[in-house]
Amino acid sequence: MKAVAVIGPGTCDEPLAAQAREVGRLLAEQGVALVCGGHGGVMEAAARGAHEAGGTTIGILPGTDACEANRFIQIPIVTGMGEARNVIIIRSAQAVIAIGGEFGTLSEIAFALKLGVPVIGLNTWKLARENEPVSIGVEAQTPAAAVAAALEKIR
């Protein structure tokens, strides 16, 4: 089964949540499993969209209790690893869609770039090295464009 990780902050505003929900829905409609950190914010919104569209949702949780997963996660995976679980999220997907983001999202983007997992950004981090912009991969303008780019990368 193909899987795309959707990463982003654990709390977000409604416009960002709407984008994440749309990404989740579109992935599910294409038969692609959604992997995320299993908590709130972007993760919950994306899982909700995928769940409502009949998709598979997998939450890679930082703690040791499956009950910490949001209500739209069908397969909670407890790691007891805290933020170190971010590597598992990235390794579990063939592509990553970063929506918004805090420092945890930034670490996941860095892991994906280091490990060669394609990254598609949607209103997320802009990177620079020595004041020179560094591309994270594809910078999408809409949820549909983000999903299309992810699908192109994994097919």
pLDDT tier, 155 (very low <50, low <70, confident <90, very high otherwise) = confident
* pTM for the structure as a whole: 0.97
Structure tokens at 63: 């703690």
CB-side neighbour CA atoms (13 Å) of 36: 36
Please give the Cα distance from 40 to 113 (Å, whole number): 24
pLDDT tier, 121 (very low <50, low <70, confident <90, very high otherwise) = very high
Beta strands in 29-153 (DSSP E): 33-36, 57-61, 75-78, 95-99, 119-122, 127-129, 132-134, 138-140
For the chain, what is the mean pLDDT? 97
CATH class of the structural domain 3-154: alpha beta
Q: What is the tens place of the pLDDT at every residue in 93-102?
A: 999 999 999 9
If you average pLDDT over residues 56-66, what whole number do you get? 98
Count of positions (residues) in the chain: 155
